[in-house]
């Protein structure tokens, strides 16, 4: 029988691989070269680096990550060794949008007419743009790859092409009252996002609030801290950190909202991610069985301010981390999953 190794923090009920494969649930620290050597499939989260260090010499033929992010997957090596790699794009995008808007509201911003700069108009950024736009917030969007492909974006459906112009990162810095990042982590090339939030950008940002719920290294931590110290940046909400789980205690202290990489941790998002990854593995193993997520796969186009605020308070997750920075991983792994807006 086939063998599937699953990160024990990926929630699911029942035995979806019963009769198809033996399943072994392991803590991320237990997913090692030895424990996966005889596995056929691996289902992980961002803490498990999937490349030669883990998989060389193993039987693994598919790696599925129950996350939007994929920078823990060594795609060139996996591809060269015939290992299929899949992720769960968009699975928790509504939850991250919820985090962004509740963070803005929690610090007293978000009035109609406010300018919100969104860097990265993909799965998450598009929902942020849709929900915020329907609340009367003005949207400025920067996304060079989409600009080359689509020219413009659709205000009514931001994930699609339209006649709304994209703007530069510099224009976002100069004009936005709040800037939120929703890009992948790209280390090189013309669309590099590594340290996109740097000294030059901070110098443009004026008194803007900055939110990083994308990837920690999108922001240069030293410049981030310096901008806060000098009062160049007004307020900060940080969910993604350089060096996780060993995070900057100085940035933690200075940030208005500090959370342990849980912006996307919703009940609905986890169900989508589980279904998307488990179904990919089931297909790969030749089974016709499919997992029903039991939740809507697409978010509503608009959610009221009252529904957003009532759905979550990011300050409730900020205090525990500020009180004990060393608890970062524990807080993340034992997080009490929340509902997305308008889902109860």
pLDDT, position 39: 98
pLDDT, position 50: 97
pLDDT at 163 > cutoff 60 = yes
Q: What is the pTM of this model?
A: 0.88
Average pLDDT rounded to a whole number, residues 198-224: 91
pLDDT in tens, 26-39: 999 999 999 999 99
> In this structure, what token pair is assigned to residue 128?
């942020």
pLDDT at 344 > cutoff 80 = no
Is 244 among the residues known to form the active site?
yes
**Catalytic, out of 138, 226, 244, 250:** 244
**Catalytic, out of 215, 272, 332, 338:** 215
User: How far, in whole angstroms, is CA 108 from its chain's centroid?
Assistant: 24
Average pLDDT rounded to a whole number, residues 271-279: 96
Domains in the chain, CATH or no CATH each = 2-87+267-284 (3.40.50.720), 93-258 (3.40.50.720)
**Catalytic, out of 45, 261, 272, 338:** 261
Angle between helical axes of 93-106 and 123-133 (0-180°, round to 10): 50
Long-range contacts of 327-334 (CB under 8 A, 24+ apart): 327/260, 328/244, 328/245, 328/246, 328/247, 328/260, 328/261, 329/245, 329/260, 331/260, 331/262, 332/245, 332/260, 332/261, 332/262, 333/9
Is the dihedral angle over the CA atoms 186, 206, 179, 48 positive or is it negative? positive
Q: Confidence band (pLDDT; 50, 70, 90) for 13?
A: confident
Q: Confidence band (pLDDT; 50, 70, 90) for 119?
A: very high
Q: Distance between CA 99 and CA 311 in Å, rounded?
A: 10
pLDDT in tens, 295-318: 988 899 999 999 999 999 999 999
255 backbone dihedrals φ, ψ, rounded to 5°:
-70, 140
């Amino acid at each position: 029988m086939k063998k599937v190794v699953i990160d024990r923090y990926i929630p699911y009920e029942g035995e979806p691989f019963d009769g198809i494969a033996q399943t072994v649930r392991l803590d991320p620290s237990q997913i090692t070269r030895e424990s996966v050597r005889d596995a056929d499939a691996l289902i992980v989260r961002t803490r498990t680096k999937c490349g030669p260090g883990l998989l060389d010499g193993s039987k693994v033929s598919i790696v599925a990550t129950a996350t939007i992010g994929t920078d823990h997957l060594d795609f060139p090596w996996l591809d060269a060794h015939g290992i299929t790699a899949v992720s769960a794009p968009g699975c928790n995008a509504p939850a991250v949008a919820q985090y962004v808007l509740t963070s803005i509201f929690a610090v007293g911003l978000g009035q109609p007419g406010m300018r919100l700069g969104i860097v990265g108009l993909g799965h998450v950024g598009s929902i942020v743009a849709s929900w915020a736009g329907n609340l009367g917030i003005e949207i400025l969007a920067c996304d060079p790859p989409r600009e080359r492909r689509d020219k413009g974006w659709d205000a009514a459906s931001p994930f699609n092409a339209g006649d709304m112009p994209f703007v530069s990162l510099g224009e976002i810095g100069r004009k936005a009252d709040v800037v939120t990042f929703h890009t992948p982590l790209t280390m090189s090339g013309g669309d590099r996002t590594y340290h996109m939030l740097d000294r030059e950008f901070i110098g443009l940002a004026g008194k803007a609030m900055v939110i990083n719920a994308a990837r920690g290294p999108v922001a240069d931590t030293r410049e981030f801290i310096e901008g806060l110290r000098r009062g160049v940046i007004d307020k900060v909400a940080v969910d993604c950190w350089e060096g996780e789980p060993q995070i900057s205690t100085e940035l933690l202290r200075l940030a208005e909202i500090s959370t342990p990489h849980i912006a996307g941790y919703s009940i609905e998002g986890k169900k989508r991610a589980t279904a998307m990854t488990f179904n990919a593995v089931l297909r790969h193993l030749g089974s016709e069985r499919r997992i029903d997520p039991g939740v809507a796969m697409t978010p509503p186009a608009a959610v009221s301010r009252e529904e957003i605020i009532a759905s979550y308070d990011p300050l409730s997750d900020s205090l525990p981390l500020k009180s004990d920075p060393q608890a970062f991983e524990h807080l993340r792994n034992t997080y009490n999953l929340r509902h997305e807006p308008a889902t109860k």
